[in-house]
Amino acid sequence: MSEEMLRVENLHVSVEGTSIIKGLNLTIHRGEIHVIMGRNGAGKSTLANVVMGHPAYEITQGTIHFQGQPLEELAVFERARAGMFLSFQYPAVIPGVQVGTFLKKSVASVRDDPPKGRAFRKELNGAMAELEMDKSFLSRYVNDGFSGGEKKRLEILQMLLLKPNLALLDETDSGLDIDALRIVSKGINKIAPEAGCLIITHYQRLLDHVKPHFVHAMIDGAIVKTGGPELALELEERGYDWLDVAA
Amino acid sequence: MSEEAFEAVGDYRYGFHDPENATIRFDKGLSEQVVRDISALKNEPEWMTDLRVKAYRHFEARAMPDWGNCNLLESINFENVTYFLRSSDKTEKNWDDVPDDIKNTFNRLGIPEAEQKWLGGVTAQYESEAVYHSIREDLEEQGVIFLDMDTGLKTHPELVKKFFGTVVPHSDNKFSALNTAVWSGGSFIYVPKGIHVEMPVQAYFRINAKNMGQFERTLIIADEGSSIHYVEGCTAPSYSTDSLHSAVVELIAMEGAKIRYSTVQNWSSNVYNLVTKRGVAHKNATVEWVDGNIGSKLTMKYPSVLLKGEGAHAEVISVAYAGDGQHQDTGAKVHHLAPNTTSNILSKSISKNGGRSSYRGMLQVMPKSSGCRSKVVCDALILDESSRSDTYPTMEIGNSTADLEHEASVSKVSGDQLFYLMSRGFTEEEAMGLIVNGFFEPFTRELPMEYAVELNKLLELEMEGSIG
């Protein structure tokens, strides 16, 4: 079996005293695409944020390992530098900071062998072409005045440039039109063979473009059922109530 | 560099000082005799001596401002200030002729290098007087006058007499009176009709001695249809006792002329910086103040524009950074004295580690000034609970056709911004540095690139070691 990227064991998480994740287990290996589906409030985004180290969430029980290393001691930026990436559902606006500058500095912080000068520009141009992004993006301010689709594209662009070992994609497909969905999927498929991917989504339609190895149904803070791509179709058709009964 | 200097320097990288090798140094303290001695030493015409004495008497009689940071103002001890210090007998045209210790200082500040790369002229003032002055030959051939103020008064007495004190009279405020009484150094610039000075000219002001008072006086006249960009920088050693910097700057933009005056003020945190800057814009002329205040203990400075001719335009873009023990009381004043005049004011401030920033603005539209437009935007960013930001806007609108916009915001760095940036590999300090640089970006992009890079580095340094 290929290298283990993420191992979540018996994870319990709360925010301001409210328990959100209740005994979640999940293991992701290199080259695997996992999809988590569930209703709003099931704890999907919380899982992505807590793995990345968001300070608002408290782990009350259980452990998270990244490439065999326990995560609790790693600050957020150290997780990024170790090769973890989170594509945000709502990326923050950073006024006055140009996308080009931001990408260059971020790549220099995260990658062990950051490309410099011409090499960086070449890689950047290639990735932007792949995502059908205009060069004018680079002189805009990070997410400032971006449409929903533009924000998501910038997230995927960062993912391509940072080359993570573990990519967490939090509702990256929400609010995208068909073209944007196709482009975003292209980005995911590009990094997927070399990384572990965790895709959080509400919709089956992303899976027309990205083929998951595992689909998990999450209800009330825990994974209640795991299957292949067929589970996604079933969840979209039948909803989650039948699982409530099963749970 | 002495040990004492090292101790005081801290994070301020320009806080070093050099040995004091004064050729003339006045005793501390101020009197009419000191004023007369300065004038005599400079061999000034009688009218200037008289003006100085009149200004001194006004300064003595005038009360301290009863607004701004009154406590800090009252703590200034005018008797403990050196009002004149000459460190070099001549203003040199070649850096090699500047005394070594002074030359080294300016080398460390990167001035000769900048001059070679991108400036049209440089004046370097050390204590009370310019020690170096140079202008590109092509500009000189076009009739551009760029001199230190003392030389300007000697060589162009009529021009100086005609304009000196016409924009900022000695009686304008207590500190303009003080400056007029004891002024020394500064720049005198005249740009002939229709001449566009494409490369910026720069003045650099350095205080080196303890308890020094620096009172430069700058007068820039851009004749009809001409343009110039003047850049000013300043630093001082970090001493445990205070120094005083009180300048007066007067800009005169004749019909269709354009003057841009950019400042990156980075005094050490023992300097009182009390400066009066004002420009007049005649018909269809433009006066722009690009004013950055990073250093000093207390700055009180409100770059102003008198829009005197129809169609004149004012632009004031300012930023202030107030850190530990600092109060930046800054702002802008624009007076629409003629019809169809326009102005833009953008003010941004950051307060951190207990620092305080105040915006004080004045926008005036006279009754006969119809068709005026103005936009004022004030943004404050407060980085922690112990810091403070205040806004004191004043508007006097005497004409109902005026089209005015005013926006103000106070914000904090959000946890979401920090988490986002940290998830991209930035430490918390680096993330703060990015956010702060981004906040100042509308100002920074107006600076020559070399200054912009320097300012960004400076702000990143300010963010270091400050997050628990």
Length of chain B counted residue by residue:
468
d(CA A8, CA A48): 11
Interface of B with A in 188-247 (CB under 8 A): none
pLDDT tens per residue, range A89-139: 999 999 999 999 999 999 999 999 999 889 999 999 999 999 999 999 999
Distance of CA A165 to the CA centre of its chain: 11
Interface residues of chain A, partner chain B, Cβ below 8 Å: 52-56, 75-77, 79-81, 85-86, 88, 90-97, 102, 105-106, 109-110, 141-142, 158, 162
A70-89 burial, b at 16+ Cβ within 10 Å, e below that, comes to ebeebebbebbbbbbbbbbb
| Block residue for tokens 């200034």 | B76
Record: contact A106-B425, CB cut-off 8 A: yes
Paired strand residues for B228: B259
| Torsions phi, psi for B344 (to 5 deg) | -130, 130
Taking CA atoms, B122 is separated from B119, B130, B222, in Å, by 7, 10, 18
Judged against a pLDDT cut of 50, whether residue B1 lies above it is answered with no
| Contact present, B291 and B316 (Cβ < 8 Å) | yes
pLDDT confidence of residue A229? 92
User: B411 — contact with chain A (CB < 8 Å)?
Assistant: no
Alpha helices, DSSP H, located in B184-230? none
| Contact present, B373 and B402 (Cβ < 8 Å) | yes
Distance of CA A150 to the CA centre of its chain: 16
Record: contact B427-A77, CB cut-off 8 A: yes
Judged against a pLDDT cut of 80, whether residue B425 lies above it is answered with yes
pLDDT confidence of residue B89? 84
Nearest to B146 by CA among B111, B195, B90: B195
Tokens representing A241 are: 């109530």
d(CA B60, CA B46): 21
pLDDT confidence of residue A246? 53
pLDDT confidence of residue B465? 54
Q: In this predicted structure, which of A12-16, B22-26, B79-83, B147-151 has the lowest mean pLDDT? A: B22-26
Judged against a pLDDT cut of 70, whether residue B4 lies above it is answered with no
d(CA B380, CA B375): 17
User: B163 — contact with chain A (CB < 8 Å)?
Assistant: no
Read off the amino acid at residue B280.
Answer: V
Min Cα–Cα distance to chain B from A72, Å: 15
The pTM for the full model equals 0.88
Min Cα–Cα distance to chain A from B414, Å: 9
Question: Does residue A213 come out as left (phi exceeding 0), alpha (psi in the -120 to 50 range) or beta?
Answer: alpha
Record: contact A109-B424, CB cut-off 8 A: yes
d(CA B366, CA B401): 11
Answer yes or no: CATH 3.10.20.600 is held by domain A4-94+163-246: no
Read off the amino acid at residue B184.
Answer: S
pLDDT tens per residue, range B328-384: 999 999 999 999 999 999 999 999 999 999 999 999 999 999 999 999 999 999 999
| Block residue for tokens 């509308």 | B442
Share of chain B above pLDDT 70, in %: 97
A155-181 burial, b at 16+ Cβ within 10 Å, e below that, comes to bbbbbbbbbbbbbbbbbbbeebeeebb
For residues B73, B76, B79 and B83, what is the CA-based torsion angle, rounded to 10 degrees?
-90
A108-147 burial, b at 16+ Cβ within 10 Å, e below that, comes to ebbbeebbeeeebeebbeebbeebebeeebbebbbbeebe
Q: In this predicted structure, which of A217-226, B16-25, B336-345 has the lowest mean pLDDT? A: B16-25
pLDDT confidence of residue B118? 83
Record: contact B424-A55, CB cut-off 8 A: no
